[in-house]
Amino acid sequence: MEEVKNRDNQTVEVNVQETVSEMVRKAKAAMNSFYNYSQEQVDEVVQAVAWAIYKPGHAEKLAEIALKDTGLGRYEDKVTKKRRKTLGTLRDLKGEKSVGIINIDEAKGITEIAKPVGVVAAVVPSTNPGATPANIAMMALKGRNAIIIAPSPKGHSTSQLLLQYIHEEFEKIGAPKDLFQILPAPVNKAITKELMSQADFVTVTGSANNVRNGQTCGKPNACVGAGNVVSIVDASANIEETARRIFLSKTFDNATSCSNDNSVVIEEAVYDQMIEALEKQGGYLCNAEEKKRLQEAMWIDGKRNPRTTAKDPNVIAKEAGLDNVNAQNASFFMVKETGVGKDYPFSGEKLAVVLTVYKAKDFQEAMKLTKKILNYQGKGHSCGLHTTNEKHIEQIGYEMDVCRLLINQVQVYGNGGNFNNGLNFTLSMGGGSWGGNNIGENLSYKHFLNITRVSRVIPEVVPTEEELWGNYWNKYGK
């Protein structure tokens, strides 16, 4: 038994193991009938989930509750995120095979048959309590899996409303409601860990602690890493366009996304121009004293102060005592920095409309500085480059150890898929071995498929020794 606080702040006892076991039992029962669905029927289930959040009025209501209960982000951007991610994900899933035979390679005699991974436990963050569950559910259900969402405590009410919307759509099409479930309130670490231990497959999007729990729970998992996006602006960049992109990325949903620009490294030759262009976009460059006040308002004993996390810029200005009129009316804040690491908190992820600005004498120094920042935090996740220099694009592609490198794009839009790039839509992005993750790509429906490969006999293909070692012998002898 686990003692927890209910919504009335009363202590109650909950049998965590039995609660989760019953949910998993229902999920597996639902999967038994779901397993026999045709591709067309499965795609209808995915469409139902998408429509449940995209339907006029639904994204708005979910955004309203999420902002009210979590205090994170901006209403308008949350609505945009829910609708845009849903539309893009449904586009990515449309026409993809995930039931029965999905590929035949006659030359190799291999037939691939898709099957579910099982009951999926999806731990989702308070920053996206509506969009992330819907996004992952679409992918998991595409593979005929059942999914149980473990929301953050503050995001539970949003996820619960999403559950209602999805079950209403399931009822229309006759799909089993228990294919999509939400852990009951109050959600805590104990019940979330129990869910991970009983599920067949785990995915975690959110804090480093939750990701660590997911990756060590003993179950197959696709957990994603932390972001700390750095964008380089080289001397060839279109300054005005670049400033606009960085503004859009930095301010979207008050920087709740792991893909927003946290730092920008600017070549010295265009540094002053770039700062001026960012100021035209509403950025306010803090002086040394204002930077000190901002740091004190954002971190208390080394921990992020929730009063300044993902809040509107005027709220941050008030908390930091920035009494300059321009600061109070700013769209985002800029702080100059030279150092990297724990002693320089602005060099890490901030979840705030605060952009850290570095100056580099040339592109080579910009690369070194970017690597240093990412090695401190956000390794493997992503970075950006604003340039018109093809050689720089090639160099950074070879040298930067990130799973996503966006060229001349709005980072917060593009990392998780955009209509103007080839990355699939998602709210969960892996950092590969660099970030300590099992996956390096964007989470997709393919991560929720088991594949049986049926191998048939084909004509033998036996190489000669000369074919395999000929060049080696010619160079070094036998």
Distances (CA, A) of 50 to 58, 131, 145, 418: 11, 10, 16, 17
| Confidence check: pLDDT of 255 > 70 | yes
What's the CA gap between 379 and 369, in Å, rounded? Answer: 13
Enumerate the domain spans of the chain: 2-223+444-454, 229-423
* Per-residue 3-state assignment (H helix, E strand, C coil) for 247-306: HHHHHHHHHCCCCCEEEEEEEHHHHHHHHHHHHHCCEEECCHHHHHHHHHHHEECCEECH
Q: What pLDDT band is residue 408 in, cutting at 50, 70 and 90?
A: very high
Q: What pLDDT band is residue 59 in, cutting at 50, 70 and 90?
A: very high
10 Å CB burial of residue 30 (0-12, 13-18, 19+) is buried
Q: What pLDDT band is residue 2 in, cutting at 50, 70 and 90?
A: low
**Global model pTM greater than 0.75:** yes
Peptide bond before residue 186 is cis, with ω within 30 degrees of 0: yes
**What values do phi and psi take at 29, rounded to 5?**
-65, -40
Catalytic (active site) residue 258: yes
How many other β-carbons are positioned within 10 Å of the β-carbon of residue 245?
26
Q: What pLDDT band is residue 448 in, cutting at 50, 70 and 90?
A: very high
Predicted local confidence at residue 225, as pLDDT: 81
Q: Is 340 helix (H, G, I), strand (E, B) or coil?
A: coil
Predicted local confidence at residue 402, as pLDDT: 97
Name the superfamily (CATH) of residues 2-223+444-454: Aldehyde Dehydrogenase; Chain A, domain 1 (3.40.605.10)
Contact partners, residue 217, CB within 8 Å, separation at least 6: 193, 196, 197, 202
Q: How confident is the prediction for the chain on average, in pLDDT?
A: 95
Structure tokens at 348: 């890490």
| Confidence check: pLDDT of 7 > 60 | no
Burial string for 86-124 (b: 16+ CB within 10 Å, else e) reads: bebbbebbeeeebbeebeeeeeeeebbebbbbbbbbbbb
Predicted local confidence at residue 418, as pLDDT: 96
Asked whether 201 and 220 are in contact (CB, 8 A), the reply is yes
Q: What pLDDT band is residue 14 in, cutting at 50, 70 and 90?
A: confident
DSSP label at 337? Answer: -
Predicted local confidence at residue 271, as pLDDT: 98
* DSSP states of 182-227: EPPSSP-HHHHHHHHHHSSEEEE-S-HHHHHHHHTSSS-B------
Per annotation, catalytic residue among 258, 286, 383, 403: 258
| Confidence check: pLDDT of 1 > 70 | no
Asked whether 188 and 20 are in contact (CB, 8 A), the reply is no
Asked whether 76 and 92 are in contact (CB, 8 A), the reply is no
* CATH ID of 229-423, from 2.120.10.30, 3.40.309.10, 3.30.930.10, 3.40.720.10: 3.40.309.10
Mind listing the pLDDT tens digit for each residue in 343-397?
Answer: 999 999 999 999 999 999 999 999 999 999 999 999 999 999 999 999 999 999 9
Ramachandran region of residue 203, left (φ > 0), alpha (ψ -120 to 50) or beta?
A: beta
Contact partners, residue 157, CB within 8 Å, separation at least 6: 65, 69
